[in-house]
Amino acid sequence: MVQYLPRSAWNARPPNGGPGNLTVSRVQGAVIHWPGTGSTSVIHSQAAVASALRGWQNFHMDDRGWSDIAYQIAVDQSGRAWTLRGLRTQSGANGNNDVNERYGAILLVLVTGEQPTAAMKATTRGVIADFRKLYPRGTAILPHSAVRPDPTDCPGPAARAAISRGEFNPGSSEDDMTPAQMQELKNFIEARTQAYALWTHRQLRKDLSAVVRAYALDIKNYERQTDAADAARAAAAVWATAPDNFPTVDQPDVPAEPDPNTDPKIDEPAPEPTPPV
**What is the per-residue pLDDT across 237-249, written as a single tens digit (0 to 9) for each?**
666 665 665 555 5
Segment 121-131 shows an average pLDDT of 96
Segment 100-123 shows an average pLDDT of 95
Secondary structure of residue 44 in the 3-state scheme: coil
Segment 206-235 shows an average pLDDT of 72
How high is the mean pLDDT of the chain? 83
What is the distance between the alpha carbons of residues 57 and 15, in angstroms, rounded to a whole number? Answer: 10
**Of the listed ranges 138-142, 185-189, 251-255, 262-266, the one predicted with least confidence:** 251-255
Q: What's the pLDDT band for 277 if we cut at 50, 70, 90?
A: very low
Which helix (H) or strand (E) segment holds residue 14: the answer is: none
Asked whether residue 136 carries a pLDDT value surpassing 80, the answer given is yes
- Residue 264, preceding peptide bond in cis (omega within 30° of 0): no
Rounded alpha-carbon distances, angstroms, from residue 165 to 94, 135, 142, 169, 200 = 22, 23, 12, 9, 45
Segment 201-212 shows an average pLDDT of 77
**Of the listed ranges 129-133, 150-154, 253-257, the one predicted with least confidence:** 253-257
- For a pLDDT cut of 90, what percent of the chain falls above it? 55
Highest mean pLDDT among 54-68, 138-152, 175-189: 54-68
Amino acid at 174: E
Name beta bridge partners: 74.
82, 107
Segment 121-144 shows an average pLDDT of 96
What is the distance between the alpha carbons of residues 79 and 75, in angstroms, rounded to a whole number? Answer: 6
Q: How many CB atoms lie within 10 A of CB 88?
A: 14
Asked whether residue 203 carries a pLDDT value surpassing 90, the answer given is no
Asked whether residue 253 carries a pLDDT value surpassing 60, the answer given is no
pLDDT of residue 151: 85
What is the distance between the alpha carbons of residues 125 and 187, in angstroms, rounded to a whole number? Answer: 23
102 neighbors 27 (Cβ within 8 angstroms): yes
Checking DSSP bridges between strand 73-75 and strand 29-33, what pairing results, if any? unpaired
What is the distance between the alpha carbons of residues 36 and 144, in angstroms, rounded to a whole number? Answer: 11
pTM (predicted TM-score): 0.62
pLDDT tens profile 151-199:
889 999 999 999 999 999 998 654 455 566 667 667 777 877 888 788 7
Contact residues for 144 (Cβ-Cβ < 8 A; gap 6+):
31, 32, 33, 93, 94, 95, 152, 154, 155
